[in-house]
């Protein structure tokens, strides 16, 4: 799976073919000798430099072939099992030798067969689109074809495609945002697929094949061809302009893998990780269908000038029915740096005995660091230290660090952040491919905050976030609260430009592309890896992101969990009484009686049941009934949330970095992240577009979950304060 970031750049688009550029592209094509040299270099670097040191032998070559076939035919729709058997029999026995010799001819021949199958199938699809459909059958289709076998033969494939086209037509009929007849939309989609296929040249085939080789080693190693490398370099130079979304190509969709803090996408609150983009429109122009479009093409369509409007048609990641659509309007803009900063708030709560609790909450979008100005530039740890100082001046009795959606960042800052809460000592262990382990330590004996503490996480908390959360847990310094675990990315990658390893390359150096290579692995001070398993929460709260579809364990070829020897740490001067068992029981009692959490539990069950069954009805009445039930459930959830907000009598105070020296902090009427607060900020909807209103339900559903989890986190901290006053047990 290829990932590109579209948090980028003011790039003007012109879709008509420029003959000069076409000539330049033709002139810059990779020669046969260079392609062999590039392939050989990629294989050698993977064998010798990848963390696993996996050699290209017969079994590994078979895995690479499987990955390549899956990358070509990700939904197992165009090849048949007969094709797969023939391919493996013809190319499998000698593939290891071919790979080591840089022979990519098998990839070209397999691609030629795939292209023929697609062309033949689209000719048959055009016939199917002319038929009449009643949508009254009791047949079903697979939601996720990756979990299904390839059709046995062409006859079985024809039957599968008959049902699939009927399903696509029904999906368009149920799509409330549809403006054109279903057959026209679906037909144009396959015309676009054919056009995209025709535009692919030998360089594209080489890139797909080499990327398949890299991905077979692990999901974070990948080959970047010349165009992808150029996009990566643009990201590095201009990462502060655009919509702020990282996209991953998955099952024919551009799927949102990450939202950049402070970017228009994240700030809108209308997009979430896991959402799938089905169409892109420039301004008020018509949508261009992006299903089965190459990822770099989708990225190009989303890029644009600062201040310009882009509209995205999206299938929400949590939608059980793929016919559900929403339209998100975004203004391309600079990422607001202040929104990337750590920020805080104070929650004041009156207790029955007349006393008042003060709880601090710091939200950390990423572990940021200005590498060029190490001592004076932006720094997560310095900013958090400043917030902590003011929070303690305000008399907070407990603290939460919110790492939900924090995808990581600077390892150095994760170590320094840990140092704010422990005396000193090891924070993380890093192991390389040779088995050598480096123990990275906090060497500052000072502690910025030593009171009761919770770290709030979800499945989108990754990398540096996991290092910090793991250290807090291993030192007994904080309760980990949230999803059952964090993401589980415990590996380190380096970028290698291949031109540096190929002095005899006849093309320009950047023509060879680059290899992103996994070279190290993180381990906790307690010895376990953060890889694959992530950090396991002490207290689990119901959440829509707590799904087997999210996280490292959901990715193909993920490196396994393992352990190293623990690093000796000072628990005596760091460990705090956390009363895990007592506080967990109280939390479970509350959430089991909370209507909002029970709504979330029901939503999670529906999504998981749909994923498990992997079937979707072709009966229009059944589908409409399901959508009506979903609408009724959403209405109930909104009412439950309104009741919960009505019972919230806490007081909220805002603390941004710009406020740390102000005499008086700003009092907010209500929780700034609540549903009511966000609605008030947007107005009553009178001046909102139909597209905006259409996306409202899913946006509100996400707010409802976030509000409930935040409220329960404050409840947990309140319990921790009370338990700390009169400790009975320090059991974890």
Catalytic residue among 474, 483, 538, 546: 474
> Could you tell me if 506 and 34 are in contact, meaning their C-beta atoms sit under 8 angstroms apart?
yes
Rounded Cα gap, residues 467 and 481, in angstroms: 15
Q: Which residues contact 298 (CB under 8 A, 6 or more apart)?
A: 247, 254, 277, 280, 290
Question: DSSP letter string over 280-340?
Answer: EEETTSPPEE-TT--HHHHHHHH---TT-EEEEEEE-TT-SSTT--EEEEEE-EE--HHHH
Counting Cβ atoms within 10 Å, is residue 638 exposed (0-12), middle (13-18) or buried (19+)?
Answer: middle
Per-residue model confidence as pLDDT tens digits over 715-730: 999 999 999 986 554 4
Q: Is residue 555 part of a domain?
A: yes
Confidence category of residue 9, pLDDT binned at 50, 70, 90? very low
Report the CATH number that the domain containing residue 249 is assigned in CATH. 2.30.42.10
Active site residue 474: yes
> Could you tell me if 406 and 342 are in contact, meaning their C-beta atoms sit under 8 angstroms apart?
no
Rounded Cα gap, residues 65 and 177, in angstroms: 40
Domain boundary among 227, 257, 288: 227
Asked if residue 260 and residue 397 are part of one domain, the reply reads: no
Confidence category of residue 257, pLDDT binned at 50, 70, 90? confident
Catalytic residue among 231, 249, 272, 463: 463
What angle do helix axes 595-613 and 580-593 make, rounded to 10 degrees?
90
Question: Region 387-395: what's the mean pLDDT?
Answer: 98
Per-residue model confidence as pLDDT tens digits over 214-246: 999 999 999 998 877 766 655 443 343 468 888
Question: Region 478-490: what's the mean pLDDT?
Answer: 98
pLDDT at 693: 40
Q: Is residue 18 part of a domain?
A: no
Catalytic residue among 324, 326, 459, 489: 489
Question: Region 288-294: what's the mean pLDDT?
Answer: 87
Q: Helices then strands (H, E): number in the chain? A: 22, 24
pLDDT at 22: 42
Asked if residue 241 and residue 205 are part of one domain, the reply reads: no
Structure tokens at 415: 């170590």
- What is the residue-averaged pLDDT of the chain? 88
pLDDT at 178: 82
Asked if residue 553 and residue 495 are part of one domain, the reply reads: yes
Confidence category of residue 377, pLDDT binned at 50, 70, 90? confident
Domain boundary among 161, 195, 227: 227
Backbone angles phi, psi at 610, to 5 degrees: -65, -40
The rounded percent of the chain whose pLDDT value lies above 70 is 87
SS3 518: strand
Q: Is residue 48 part of a domain?
A: yes
Task: Of 271-275, 334-338, 535-539, 579-583, give the lowest mean pLDDT range.
Answer: 334-338
pLDDT at 100 > cutoff 80: yes
Q: Is residue 42 part of a domain?
A: yes
End-to-end Cα separation, the chain, in angstroms? 40
Q: Is residue 10 part of a domain?
A: no
Asked if residue 527 and residue 428 are part of one domain, the reply reads: yes
pLDDT at 119: 97
Confidence category of residue 689, pLDDT binned at 50, 70, 90? very low
pLDDT at 231: 65
Active site residue 725: no
Asked if residue 345 and residue 328 are part of one domain, the reply reads: no
Map tokens 């319990």 to a residue. 719
Q: Is residue 306 part of a domain?
A: yes
Question: Region 416-428: what's the mean pLDDT?
Answer: 97
Query: Which among 260-264, 333-337, 648-652, 701-705 has the top mean pLDDT?
Result: 648-652
pLDDT at 457: 98
Beta-bridged to residue 347, according to DSSP, are: 359, 652
pLDDT at 359: 98
Q: How many domains does the chain have?
A: 3
pLDDT at 17 > cutoff 90: no
Rounded Cα gap, residues 301 and 303, in angstroms: 6
Backbone angles phi, psi at 34, to 5 degrees: -70, -40
- Give 646 or 138, the one with higher predicted confidence: 138
Question: Region 642-670: what's the mean pLDDT?
Answer: 90
Asked if residue 543 and residue 401 are part of one domain, the reply reads: yes
Asked if residue 538 and residue 400 are part of one domain, the reply reads: yes
Rounded Cα gap, residues 273 and 36, in angstroms: 38
Q: Is residue 20 part of a domain?
A: no
Structure tokens at 54: 């996996």
Report the CATH number that the domain containing residue 609 is assigned in CATH. 3.90.226.10
Instruction: Give the E-state strand segments of 3-56 in sequence order.
Output: 3-5
pLDDT at 292: 85
pLDDT at 675: 52
Structure tokens at 349: 């709560």
Question: Region 569-590: what's the mean pLDDT?
Answer: 96
Question: Region 370-377: what's the mean pLDDT?
Answer: 74
Map tokens 């021949």 to a residue. 109
Full domain range(s) for residue 154: 30-227
Rounded Cα gap, residues 73 and 83, in angstroms: 12
Asked if residue 364 and residue 297 are part of one domain, the reply reads: no
The angle formed by the CA atoms of residues 606, 607 and 610, to the nearest 5 degrees, is 85
- Give 508 or 543, the one with higher predicted confidence: 543
Task: Of 213-222, 231-240, 370-379, 433-442, give the lowest mean pLDDT range.
Answer: 231-240
Asked if residue 213 and residue 235 are part of one domain, the reply reads: no
- Give 38 or 370, the one with higher predicted confidence: 38
> Could you tell me if 436 and 496 are in contact, meaning their C-beta atoms sit under 8 angstroms apart?
no
Confidence category of residue 503, pLDDT binned at 50, 70, 90? confident
Q: Is residue 13 part of a domain?
A: no
In 420-463, which ranges are continuous DSSP H helix?
A: none
- Give 603 or 10, the one with higher predicted confidence: 603
Question: Region 496-500: what's the mean pLDDT?
Answer: 91
Asked if residue 573 and residue 682 are part of one domain, the reply reads: yes
Domain boundary among 227, 245, 265: 227
Rounded Cα gap, residues 106 and 25, in angstroms: 24
Asked if residue 243 and residue 219 are part of one domain, the reply reads: no
Active site residue 489: yes
What angle do helix axes 182-199 and 154-174 make, rounded to 10 degrees?
120
Q: How far is CA 220 from CA 1, 431, 517, in A?
A: 9, 17, 7
In 561-695, which ranges are continuous DSSP H helix?
A: 580-593, 595-613, 620-646, 675-682, 690-694
Per-residue model confidence as pLDDT tens digits over 292-348: 888 888 888 888 888 999 999 999 887 777 778 899 999 988 766 567 799 999 999
Structure tokens at 115: 């292209």
pLDDT at 414 > cutoff 80: yes
Question: How many residues in the chain?
Answer: 732
> Could you tell me if 239 and 5 are in contact, meaning their C-beta atoms sit under 8 angstroms apart?
yes
pLDDT at 703: 65
Rounded Cα gap, residues 123 and 118, in angstroms: 9
pLDDT at 676: 56
Asked if residue 583 and residue 691 are part of one domain, the reply reads: yes
Confidence category of residue 30, pLDDT binned at 50, 70, 90? confident
Per-residue model confidence as pLDDT tens digits over 617-642: 999 999 999 999 999 998 998 899 88
């Amino acid at each position: 799976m290829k990932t590109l970031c579209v948090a980028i750049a003011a790039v003007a688009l012109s879709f008509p073919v420029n003959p000069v550029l076409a000539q330049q592209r033709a002139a810059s094509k990779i020669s046969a000798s260079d392609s062999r040299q590039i392939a050989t270099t990629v294989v050698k670097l993977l064998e010798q430099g990848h963390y696993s040191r996996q050699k290209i032998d017969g079994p590994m070559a078979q895995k690479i072939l499987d990955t390549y076939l899956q990358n070509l035919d990700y939904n197992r729709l165009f090849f048949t099992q007969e094709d797969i058997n023939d391919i493996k029999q013809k190319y499998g026995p000698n593939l290891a030798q071919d790979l080591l010799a840089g022979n990519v001819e098998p990839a070209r021949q397999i691609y030629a067969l795939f292209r023929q199958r697609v062309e033949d199938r689209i000719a048959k699809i055009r016939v199917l689109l002319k038929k009449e459909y009643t949508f009254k059958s009791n047949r079903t289709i697979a939601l996720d074809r990756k979990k299904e076998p390839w059709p046995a033969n062409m006859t079985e494939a024809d039957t599968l495609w008959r049902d699939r086209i009927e399903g696509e037509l029904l999906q368009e009929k149920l799509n409330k945002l549809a403006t054109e007849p279903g057959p026209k939309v679906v037909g144009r989609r396959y015309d676009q697929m054919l056009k995209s296929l025709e535009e692919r040249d030998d360089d594209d085939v080489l890139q797909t094949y080499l990327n398949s080789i890299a991905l077979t080693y692990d999901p974070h190693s990948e080959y970047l061809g010349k165009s992808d490398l150029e996009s990566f370099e643009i990201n590095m130079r201009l990462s502060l302009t655009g919509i702020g979304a990282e996209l991953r190509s998955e099952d024919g969709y551009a799927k949102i893998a990450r939202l950049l803090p402070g970017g228009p996408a994240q700030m809108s609150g209308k997009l979430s990780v896991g959402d799938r983009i089905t169409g892109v429109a420039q301004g008020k122009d018509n949508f261009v269908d992006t299903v089965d479009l190459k990822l770099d093409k989708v990225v190009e369509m989303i890029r644009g000038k600062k201040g310009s409007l882009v509209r995205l048609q999206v299938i929400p990641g949590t939608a059980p029915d793929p016919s559900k659509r929403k339209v998100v309007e975004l203004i391309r803009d600079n990422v607001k740096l202040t929104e990337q900063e750590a920020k805080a708030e104070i929650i004041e709560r009156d207790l029955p005995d007349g006393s008042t609790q003060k709880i601090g909450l710091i939200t950390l979008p990423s572990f940021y660091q200005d590498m060029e100005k190490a001592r004076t530039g932006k720094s997560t740890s310095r900013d958090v230290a400043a917030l902590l100082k003011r929070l303690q001046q305000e008399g907070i009795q407990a603290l939460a660090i919110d790492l939900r959606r924090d995808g990581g960042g600077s390892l150095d800052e994760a170590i320094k952040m840990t140092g704010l809460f422990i005396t000193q000592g090891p924070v993380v262990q890093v192991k390389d491919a040779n088995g050598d382990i480096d123990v990275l330590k906090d060497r500052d004996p000072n502690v910025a905050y030593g009171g009761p503490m919770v770290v709030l996480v979800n499945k989108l908390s990754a990398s540096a976030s996991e290092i910090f959360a793991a250290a807090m847990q291993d030192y007994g310094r904080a309760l980990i609260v949230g999803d059952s675990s964090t993401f589980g990315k415990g590996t380190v990658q380096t970028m290698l430009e291949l031109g540096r390893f190929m002095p005899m390359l006849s093309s320009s150096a950047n023509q060879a592309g680059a290899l992103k290579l996994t070279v190290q692995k993180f381990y906790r001070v307690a010895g376990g890896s953060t890889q694959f398993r992530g950090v396991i929460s002490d207290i689990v709260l119901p959440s829509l992101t707590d799904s087997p579809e999210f996280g490292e364990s959901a990715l193909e070829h993920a490196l396994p969990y393992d352990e190293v020897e623990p690093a000796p740490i000072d628990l005596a001067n760091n460990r705090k009484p956390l009363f895990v068992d007592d506080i967990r029981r109280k939390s479970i009692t509350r959430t089991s009686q909370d209507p909002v959490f029970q709504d979330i539990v029901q939503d999670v069950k529906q999504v998981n049941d749909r994923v498990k069954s992997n079937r979707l009805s072709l009966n229009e009445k059944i589908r409409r009934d399901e959508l009506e039930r979903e609408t009724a459930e959403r209405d109930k959830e909104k009412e439950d949330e309104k009741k919960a907000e009505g019972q919230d009598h806490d007081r909220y105070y805002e603390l941004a970095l710009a406020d740390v020296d102000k005499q008086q902090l700003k009092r907010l009427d209500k929780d700034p992240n609540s549903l009511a607060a966000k609605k008030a900020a947007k107005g009553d909807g009178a001046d909102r577009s139909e597209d905006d209103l259409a996306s409202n339900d899913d946006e509100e559903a996400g707010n409802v979950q976030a509000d409930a989890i935040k409220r329960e986190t404050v409840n947990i901290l309140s319990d921790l304060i009370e338990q700390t006053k009169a400790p009975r047990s320090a059991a974890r």
